[in-house]
Structure formats: structure tokens, C-alpha cells
């Protein structure tokens, strides 16, 4: 009988610890939102996409075969390196804002 009680006690402790650990992990882990995976999602997000290249980049986007890429220079900023640097210095944008 003592062996059965010890076995039952160990089993209850293991199940309790596993349950509380899984519950803690479930409640504390943040769900990471899905990122942008397509040009359509990027266009629909209305995020600003800055790129180094100035008019060359904007002209190539305007001539693209993809309709979302063609319309993106109208909703995004396409600028040269100097303009981008000045924007960073004025604290109006962060480096992660730029798509190089």
C-alpha cells in the first residue's frame, strides 16, 4: 500500500508541475503578429517605404508590371541618400522605417 501511495503522490506532483508550467508558458508568451509577406499587403498597409535611389528607383517602380508596385511611389517616399540622412537627423523617422 505504501508503494502505491508513493507512486500516486509522485504522479500527482509531476502532473501538477507540468500543468502549471504549461499554463505559465501559455499566458506569458506573446503572439507575434504576422509580417508583411506580399506587395499587396505592403500597399494596403499604407506604410511609408523609403528607398535610396531617387528618381531611378521611382521610375522603375512606375514602369513595373505589378500594379501595386506601380502605385507605391505615389503613396511612399522615394528619396536620395542625403534626404534620407536629413530625415533621420530631424528625428522624423527611424532606421527601421527605411527599405533599402
> Is 28 in the same domain as 46?
no
Residue that wins the pLDDT comparison between 44 and 93: 44
Which pLDDT belongs to residue 62? 78
> Is 46 in the same domain as 87?
yes
Confidence of residue 41 (pLDDT cuts 50, 70, 90): confident
pTM value > 0.75: no
Which pLDDT belongs to residue 99? 47
Q: Quote the number of domains for the chain.
A: 2
Residue 14: which domain range?
1-32
Tens-digit pLDDT profile for residues 4-24: 999 999 999 999 998 988 888
> Is 45 in the same domain as 87?
yes
Tens-digit pLDDT profile for residues 50-98: 666 666 777 777 788 888 887 775 545 556 667 767 777 777 655 544 4
> Is 92 in the same domain as 43?
yes
> Is 43 in the same domain as 91?
yes
> Is 59 in the same domain as 74?
yes
State the Cα torsion 75-37-68-71 to the nearest 10°: 10
Distance CA 42, CA 93 (A): 18
> Is 62 in the same domain as 18?
no
Whether 100 contacts 53, CB under 8 Å: no
Tell me the C-alpha to C-alpha distance, in Å, between residue 40 and each of 8, 23, 26, 71, 77.
Answer: 58, 38, 33, 11, 17
> Is 25 in the same domain as 59?
no
Amino acid at each position: 500500500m505504501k508503494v502505491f501511495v508513493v507512486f500516486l503522490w509522485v504522479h500527482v506532483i509531476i502532473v501538477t508541475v507540468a500543468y502549471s508550467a504549461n499554463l505559465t508558458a501559455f499566458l506569458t508568451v506573446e503572439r507575434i503578429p504576422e509580417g508583411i509577406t506580399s506587395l499587396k499587403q505592403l500597399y494596403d498597409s499604407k506604410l511609408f517605404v523609403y528607398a535610396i535611389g531617387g528618381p531611378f528607383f521611382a521610375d522603375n517602380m512606375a514602369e513595373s508590371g505589378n500594379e501595386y508596385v506601380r502605385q507605391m511611389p505615389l503613396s511612399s517616399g522615394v528619396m536620395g541618400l542625403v534626404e534620407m540622412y536629413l530625415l533621420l537627423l530631424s528625428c522624423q523617422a527611424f532606421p527601421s522605417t527605411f527599405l533599402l
